[in-house]
Amino acid sequence: MLRRSLLLTIFILQLGFSATVKAGSVVVIVNKNNQSDSLSSDLVGDIYLGRKKRFPTGELVEPLDLPKDLEITSDFYKKVVKKTPAQLRAHWSRLVFTGKGRPPKRIVDEAAVKTMVAEDKKLIGYVNEVSVDKDVKVILEVP
Amino acid sequence: MPVKHTCLAALGFSFLAFHAVADEESPISTSVFGTLGVAKSNNNDFYFRSRTTLPEGIDNSWSFHNDSNLGIQLTYEPSEKFSATILALAQLNESDDYGPLIEWAYLTYSPNENLKIRVGRTVFPTFIASDYSSVSFTYLPVRLPQDVYSLIPFQGVDGIDFIYDTNIGETYLQFQGLIAQRDFEIFNDGGIGETDYELENTHSLRATLRHGNWSVSAGYLKGDMKVDVPEVQELAVFLKSVTNIFPVFSSLANGLSSEGEIRFSSFGIQYSSYRVTFSSEYVQRRWDINLNVSDNDAYYLMGGYHIGKWTPYAFYSNSKNKSKIPLSSYPTEGPAAPITFALGEFFSPLLGDGNTKGIGLRYDFLENLAIKAQFERINVGAQLFLKKEGQPVPESVNLASLALSFVY
């Protein structure tokens, strides 16, 4: 009986934890010394589509991307950039093959993104909120 | 035919060999696009072509040669300010083979993040999608609306251009300007076949304003065109020789020339969201002289709805001839009738109004690979049709197309 209760408790805790991680788990981060405190979702979307090259404070911005097969990547692009993977690829192909732009660099994982953003004021990235620490600043919480 | 396939395969293998030695840290990057497309019409008396540079097209047999292409782009970027780009495009060309053509080859200097200055061969966005018209993956249908996009008879031009972009609040603005020239060939139906053109003193500008999901843009291109077309010179001499007897032909005789100014203008609007894609464009083509390029007003409406990886789409395009060749006022009876008949044969490919209704379904297998199936009903008017053996122009033609498009 005790064992069953324990298992049930662990199961409920797991459910709660995964719900916490899933809901509002993607955050957009910048260097802690960045002068901006918050950015709109549309503005971040424009940065990731190559249409905005400076923060509202006038500082240069360079977006970092994550591997395209990660769930966080498709979640970020659906909610913030509002593009399907194929729409996004078509967008960048239009720019690449006409010499007008290059897509953001893909970084190997969230830890590397957080480390790079912590070291460079012009970088912006998106990670799961559990990856965030005091070295970076959350500038947008993705619902 | 084996030569066509060998050229296409050689280009593909050269890319694979090159890609094997390139890596992400290298200053050299490669990008590839391609389409494997088949199409057939319901009419065996005509060829339908996707470009006016093609000497032949498709009839009522399935053919790969209308829409298939392969493009490979190499970019060398030793620093953020300088880069060199070359793009080889293999598609059926005016020589009736797939010998790769260099449609893009340019050096770029970027003094800051908002400005690019490029020298070399580039493709100008005379209309919204002109500069990526070869990359079928980037737009919904198999090919761009022909009543509009066939009006531009050239692709890459040689010269200098700039691209400047900036933001005003949450609105994105982009300007692109060009000074250039280019020699090219097109194939026409009727009395004039293969024709060499020289485009010089070309000036063009396109401005795009984007806000949220919406964007509007306008473009203008002006250039001096010279045409090597002895048939028209002979026609002018002949008409001038008979104007004493038939003065009705004098204005046409005096209007025929091999040089003149050509102008394109366009206005477009686009909407793109997670679910809906829509675009529309209105364009005009004007040429000061009446040869084998007509004056046209044209437009299209195109939209699609994304349901997961599926996108059903539809489009309508329309082109009206605005050339001032007064064929209808010429006598159809009496001694001048044979001349009127000959002129009709000569200029008839230019004078029709046309429209196209199309529906299709796109499926994005992968984020960089899509298959498109499309059906069109074309009321013939565009210059994309070639008669095979002088049959009368049909009122309409049905066209079925299937294409696999990718980028890499």
Task: List the structure tokens of B145.
Answer: 């609306």
Q: Which domains does chain B have, with CATH numbers?
A: 8-407 (2.40.160.10)
Q: What share of chain B is helix, strand, coil (3-state, %, to 5)?
A: 15, 50, 30
Q: What is the pLDDT of residue A8?
A: 47
Of A53, A68, A82, the CB nearest to B114: A53
**Which CATH architecture best describes the domain A23-141?**
3-Layer(aba) Sandwich (3.40)
**Which of B200, B154, B149, B159 lies closest to B179 in space, CA to CA?**
B159
What would the mean pLDDT of B21-30 be, rounded to a whole number?
A: 69
**β-pair type (B369-379, B396-407):** antiparallel
pTM above 0.80, yes or no: yes
What would the mean pLDDT of A66-93 be, rounded to a whole number?
A: 90
Asked if the Cβ–Cβ distance from B367 to A53 is below 8 Å, we say no
Show the CA angle centred on residue B202, arms to residues B201 and B208, nearest 5°: 155
User: Chain A: residue nearest B89 by CA?
Assistant: A97
pLDDT tens digits along B192-230: 566 788 888 999 999 999 998 899 999 999 999 888 777
Show the CA angle centred on residue B91, arms to residues B86 and B95, nearest 5°: 105
Q: What is the pLDDT of residue B18?
A: 45
pLDDT tens digits along B132-186: 999 999 999 999 998 899 888 788 899 999 999 998 888 999 999 999 988 877 6
Per-chain mean pLDDT for chain A: 83
What would the mean pLDDT of A3-27 be, rounded to a whole number?
A: 51
Q: At residue A4, does pLDDT exceed 70? A: no
Asked if the Cβ–Cβ distance from B367 to A88 is below 8 Å, we say yes
- A141, B124, B151, B172, B263 from B205: Cα distances, Å: 40, 9, 18, 17, 12
End-to-end CA distance of chain B: 27
Asked if the Cβ–Cβ distance from A53 to B113 is below 8 Å, we say yes
Nearest CA distance, A101 vs chain B (angstrom): 10
Of B7-11, B230-234, B260-264, B281-285, give the lowest mean pLDDT range: B7-11
Asked if the Cβ–Cβ distance from B272 to A94 is below 8 Å, we say no
Asked if the Cβ–Cβ distance from B138 to A90 is below 8 Å, we say yes
Nearest CA distance, B273 vs chain A (angstrom): 7
Return the H-helix or E-strand segment holding B236: helix B230-242
Exposure of B308 in the CB half-sphere (CA atoms within 13 A): 2
How do the domains of chain A map onto residue ranges?
23-141
pLDDT tens digits along B364-401: 999 999 999 999 998 877 566 666 666 666 778 899 99
Of A14-28, A51-65, A93-107, give the lowest mean pLDDT range: A14-28
Question: Quick check: A49 and A24 in contact, CB under 8 A?
Answer: no
